[in-house]
Structure 1
């Protein structure tokens, strides 16, 4: 799928208010069932649907990585939409999130949410790093103070090249639970 076609499909999905299944060109990357709530020059913001068919946090994914994003790729889309509507859940856009630039995306997500999950799926599609963004170095590396699965905070930040990052997640059940148990990070 060309970037122009993907962009057109994503904007159409955002206008229609119907869910889509997003598949990316990254080997081993998760497919995402979601509502499109924002489209920028580089990033797309999705209000994700959990396996329990509930709204569950947000994912920002790179536009260039999207292979397919239409309702026709997911036969259960209308059932999911009806179930979410019957539960009176509504996909919410996040208007203050910068989807045009990676640095702006990181800064606005960090301002809006206490934790961010960072994926570098082209290097390892099965791992995400969760924590508090602590800025970007001159070498364009994200500094992330990580929180582990036991809700324990690292005292020094890890770094990843921003060009390697393929996805950010915020909010949602697991991330919110880590923050509830681990609290805010200590200064590093």
Structure 2
């Protein structure tokens, strides 16, 4: 469960419009340099900053995993914010994303973005599954039609327990490149 301080950090970052370093309590999980652009009861929406100081898609992480979100310890925070402003890049949240429930999050991300990456970091922090969501079953399993790194589509759906999912990524350069080459998935 996110600490009271972590929630306070996230609210402060959302209100300030300044970038932060988001650290989560999952062994081997990525840290994020990002703007907090949405905060719900269960999920946090981040507009991520690339290593080359560009905005590069959105990550959505479980609120309960966040340990802290601060500028302290991130020496480049002020530079990143200034560079992005000078380049005319402004953080924003996609409209209508449900951050209160996992099923609502999956549904709204699927309406807004053609592909998503799904991370199950407590099981394997080094793997993500990219594809098109085909809803959540009654047993709370995400049905994901996956696309390979070669941009070829699977003809069936993989299933992932929603309770195991720790993060979603959408709209970044890599995911967009896969969609550009692979196109829309074949009908199931």
Q: Specify if TM > 0.5.
A: yes
Q: Which runs of 5+ in 1 are unaligned?
A: none
Task: Determine the structure 2 residue equivalent to 1:94.
Answer: 94
Task: Determine the structure 2 residue equivalent to 1:169.
Answer: 169
Give the superposition deviation at 1:76.
Answer: 0.8
SS of alignment partner, residue 8 of structure 2 = helix
1:1-188 to 2 correspondences below 5 Å: 2-188=2-188
- TM superposition score normalised by structure 2: 0.98
SS of alignment partner, residue 126 of structure 1 = coil
Runs of 4 or more, structure 1, over 3 Å off, are none
User: Quick one: structure 1 residues 27 and 180, their matched pair in 2 at CA, closer, same or farther if it must change by over 3 Å?
Assistant: same
For the 8 Å contact 2:2–2:63, the answer to whether it is kept is no
Aligned mates of 2:135, 2:97 — CA distance in 1: 16
Aligned mates of 2:70, 2:183 — CA distance in 1: 38
For the 8 Å contact 1:3–1:63, the answer to whether it is kept is no
Aligned mates of 2:78, 2:57 — CA distance in 1: 20
Q: Which runs of 5+ in 2 are unaligned?
A: none
In the alignment of these two chains, the number of paired residues is 188
